[in-house]
Structure 1
Amino acid sequence: MTALRNLIDGVSADAASGATYDVVDPATGQAYATAPASDAEDVDRAMRAAERAFETWGDTTPKVRQEALLRIAQAMEDRAEEFVRVECRNTGKPLGLTADEELPPSVDELRFFAGAARVLEGRSAGEYLEDHTSWVRREPIGVVAQVTPWNYPLMMAIWKVAPALAAGNTIVLKPSDTTPASTVLLAEVAAEFLPPGVLNVVCGDRSTGRALVEHPTPQLVAITGSVRAGMEVAGSAAADLKRVHLELGGKAPVVVFDDADVATAAEAIAAAGYFNAGQDCTAATRVLAAAGIHDELVAALAERARSTRTGLPADPGIAYGALNNPDQLARVAGMVDGLPDHARIDAGGTRPTIAGGEGGYFYDATVVSGLRQDDEIVQNEVFGPVITVQRFGDEAEALRCANDVRYGLSSSVWTKDHARALRMSRKLDFGVVWINTHIPFVSEMPHGGFKHSGYGKDLSMYGLEDYTRIKHVMSYTGD
């Protein structure tokens, strides 16, 4: 069994207490590794290491930080097969899709922020008061605490680490307790190119995360996770007036008007809804269909679902793998099993039998229609391979239903009417709006939401700016 370790001050280390816990392969339900069950003492050691490292890393030039990030990106690319293998054991994801769809963007994001480190902009210096010259300094915040989720453990670690390092901060990061392996590997690789203490990874459960957030050292806490976790972090951080960067859950509306190409829309929606077993806060899983194409779209989505396979990571024919853990499987199955009488399961709603994965957490691609706006499965995040479909009458009703959830992360509009698409994109209360597509990301554009989906931006220059602070400097220039 593999023994994972923390990385503190550039050195691999067990928890000070010696305690460990089992890490389980979601595709088999069997433990394959142990990880340190870190406590407040381990967190404190990591924070002290990050404080010491910031004294020098915070003063490095953008060129130095760029070169370090580029070397990490190249090392990841050179060891791509190893990263993919570890991530798929970590999560149950398909090997081929992870190699094609997750690792290349992760490497690109490191390279983007490497370049972005050298082009931070600010207001030009000027005389806004007679005999005084003012200018603005954009500085690193200091030590940053970060908590990452289990759905994209490697990619989300990079979304957090890359901008923080590019801006000159040092980091203490806690990965999800169910998926620490790829983050530990990333830290070990990064340690070859970063000074000790710049990037520290501490494994553990929710209590470890709480110790991270409550520690007095970090000036910013960044988390990608559930709404519940985000609220807990924000509450804990508020007690010490720490800044908070939250990327939380989502319930993306997919608004399909009656002039859309139904076959094309169904294919894209199914791909974006079932990718990563629907364990994605931007997943295309809440479809709003115009009355004129509703039945045709439901039938097309059901057909897609029946041809969408799940299974073991090495199976080249699967579209997604296992759910992350038994509690998540129970949640997904429970929401489908507990549907109201007016709902109809058009496809799926069952657990498949997977040869070699009998203990894994698999769930079939599912389509549910006949739903109403106040149904639990419409209002709350499922985080599984379940696409729901509602009927709407006109544009006003579509917009009202789309916005009538507590989340505000992402959305999409499907129509050939350009003016309608622009009207919807302006009125949709979501941080991302896709038009005739759903789920593509690029490093140059921001990702982040409104309402209960949190605040702060990942990716883009906006993401880099979130890891900086602003200082006004004024000099008297008179005689």
Structure 2
Amino acid sequence: MLTAPLAGPLFDQWRASPDDTDVAVAYNPATGEPLAVHRNASPEEVAAAVEKATAAFRTWGRTTPAERAELLLTIANRLEAAGEDFARAESANVGKPLALAREEIAYDADVLRFMAGAARISHAAAAGEYLNGSTSMTRRDPLGVVGLITPWNYPLMEAMWKLAPALAAGNTVVLKPSELTPLSTILFAQLAQEVLPDGVLNLVLGDGTTGAALVEHPAVRLVSLTGDVSTGKKVAAAASATLKRVHLELGGKAPALVFADAPLETAAAELAATAFLNAGQDCTAPCRVIVEDAAHDSFVDAYLKAVADLRCGDPEDESSHFGPVISRRQLERVEGFVERARSAGASVLTGGHRVDRPGWFHEATVIADVQQDDEIVQREVFGPVVTIQRGGSDDEILTMANGVDYGLAASVWTNDVARGLRFTRDLAFGTVWLNQHMVLANEMPFGGFGQSGYGKELSAHAIDEYSQVKHVMLRAAG
């Protein structure tokens, strides 16, 4: 899949030597074979990266939005030009189909372009005399050094969601990708460092110990994490010691509510396709389908037919809809959820097993006859597993949908406009789709409620998330 080993100064800097003992291995999940071995950054190296970012901020923080935008646009153009290299690195390291990885790179370039434009727009109140004799105005200033910690399921896309608004707002950055999937991030950091002034973007590799050193550093003004709930709680607790700001995009258990008046075959096809995209390793995947009684049997038949058409296979094969899960550990986690659901009385309608081939593949799995308080309903599996529940009244379906700790995303499938609007109001999720699922626009904010975290990514609001607002008030002499 990778036509040649990835090379460059950052690959050389972080490549492990035989003498290194604190290392992480990046695997190809489609084969189970190692792609690269990187050493983990020590706390001293994290501190050095923060110090370098602090020094760079003295100049970068005073650049104009137009200057920052021009550099972000240059990076976007270079990313797009090198898109095939990035797509192959992402596909090899994450196990997602190459075609999907190519689409993501094009999208990542658009994130950079959008934030370049958003950097030049202010939503501040107009300057004016809000008290007699004094003129007030507001400033939107950068925070300083921000620490960004990204996950393994969408390594480059999640990096763009954080990095683009952070840089656009005038901050300098220390970026730590997941130790499982650093390849596309290293490649991007090399590209971006050729464009940005020295010290504006700094990369550290490592596991949770490296991340903790970044979170705890007193000079880091904000930490943005995408990860699981337990990690998010640790980050929030550690950040409280220095009262730094925290953004958390954590887990999800997205419900898809299907009513009898919806186009059932269309709903079934779209929900199946999105549920198993990236092997279900997506916090917004519609992994809980709740179907109105009157439509249940018809929908299940259509859904199982749609799932049967999905192919789990080699990421390089254009006919593969999804590939492996990220690691042997994740595969065992998925298997554990399925087996415990079986033991609790659930019915596995299709799938339910790992695929007998090299790598870490698991069948598309659909589970029925589950109870609302079952583990398989309440906890995030993060794999190719979907539950289907039967619901009665609108109130019962709403209660079931909201009856989890997560609040990231949901969808409603109905042709009843009044019902659709009522559910978009009452569903306690940061994003609610109507008659579609997993559709994002860079112009709109993204973020969750409850155990799914807090803070918004995407949209012009993201620039404000990485900024601080200062009130300036002056009185004219005399």
1:125-136 equivalent positions in 2, closer than 5 A = 125-136=127-138
1:81-120 equivalent positions in 2, closer than 5 A = 81-100=84-103, 102-120=104-122
1:34 aligns with 2:37: yes
1:355-374 equivalent positions in 2, closer than 5 A = 358=358, 360-374=359-373
Over 3 Å counting, the alpha-carbon distance change for 1:434 and 1:463 in structure 2 is same
1:20 aligns with 2:23: yes
Mean Cα deviation higher: 127-136 or 360-369? 127-136
* Structure 2 contact 444–458 (Cα < 8 Å) conserved: yes
Partner deviation per Cα, 1:141-183 (whole Å, 9 max, x = no partner): 1000010000000100111100000000000010000000000
Please state whether the residue corresponding to 2:389 is helix, strand or coil. strand
In the TM superposition, residue 36 of structure 1 has moved relative to its aligned partner by 2.2
1:409 maps to amino acid: L
Partner deviation per Cα, 1:229-278 (whole Å, 9 max, x = no partner): 11010000001101001111111110001111111000000011000001
Over 3 Å counting, the alpha-carbon distance change for 1:22 and 1:40 in structure 2 is same
1:414 maps to amino acid: W
Give the CA RMSD over aligned residues.
Answer: 1.7
Partner deviation per Cα, 1:334-356 (whole Å, 9 max, x = no partner): 101111443111111011234xx
* Structure 2 contact 35–93 (Cα < 8 Å) conserved: no
1:79-478 equivalent positions in 2, closer than 5 A = 79-100=82-103, 102-339=104-341, 340-354=343-357, 358=358, 360-478=359-477
1:51 aligns with 2:54: yes
* Structure 1 contact 6–203 (Cα < 8 Å) conserved: no
Please state whether the residue corresponding to 2:76 is helix, strand or coil. helix
* Structure 1 contact 5–36 (Cα < 8 Å) conserved: no
CA distance in 1, matches of 2:10, 2:465: 25
Please state whether the residue corresponding to 2:209 is helix, strand or coil. helix
In the TM superposition, residue 23 of structure 1 has moved relative to its aligned partner by 1.4
In the TM superposition, residue 7 of structure 1 has moved relative to its aligned partner by 4.9
CA distance in 2, matches of 1:28, 1:13: 23
Partner deviation per Cα, 1:393-442 (whole Å, 9 max, x = no partner): 01000100100100000000000000000000000000000000000101
In the TM superposition, residue 225 of structure 1 has moved relative to its aligned partner by 0.7
CA distance in 1, matches of 2:233, 2:72: 32
Aligned to 1:68: 71
CA distance in 2, matches of 1:375, 1:4: 47
Partner deviation per Cα, 1:347-366 (whole Å, 9 max, x = no partner): 11011234xxx1x1100111
* Structure 2 contact 15–37 (Cα < 8 Å) conserved: no
Over 3 Å counting, the alpha-carbon distance change for 1:6 and 1:421 in structure 2 is farther
* Structure 2 contact 88–101 (Cα < 8 Å) conserved: no
Over 3 Å counting, the alpha-carbon distance change for 1:14 and 1:5 in structure 2 is farther
Please state whether the residue corresponding to 1:28 is helix, strand or coil. coil
CA distance in 1, matches of 2:438, 2:129: 46
In the TM superposition, residue 59 of structure 1 has moved relative to its aligned partner by 0.3
CA distance in 2, matches of 1:172, 1:86: 22
**Please, what TM-score do these two structures have when normalized by structure 2?**
0.96
In the TM superposition, residue 121 of structure 1 has moved relative to its aligned partner by 2.2
Partner deviation per Cα, 1:290-322 (whole Å, 9 max, x = no partner): 001111212222222222111121111111111
Partner deviation per Cα, 1:123-151 (whole Å, 9 max, x = no partner): 01111222111110000010000100000
Please state whether the residue corresponding to 2:276 is helix, strand or coil. helix
In the TM superposition, residue 30 of structure 1 has moved relative to its aligned partner by 0.9
**Please, what TM-score do these two structures have when normalized by structure 1?**
0.96
CA distance in 1, matches of 2:127, 2:37: 54
Aligned to 1:78: 81
Please state whether the residue corresponding to 1:293 is helix, strand or coil. helix
* Structure 1 contact 7–202 (Cα < 8 Å) conserved: no
* Structure 1 contact 252–282 (Cα < 8 Å) conserved: yes
CA distance in 2, matches of 1:22, 1:412: 37
* Structure 1 contact 255–414 (Cα < 8 Å) conserved: yes
In the TM superposition, residue 77 of structure 1 has moved relative to its aligned partner by 0.6
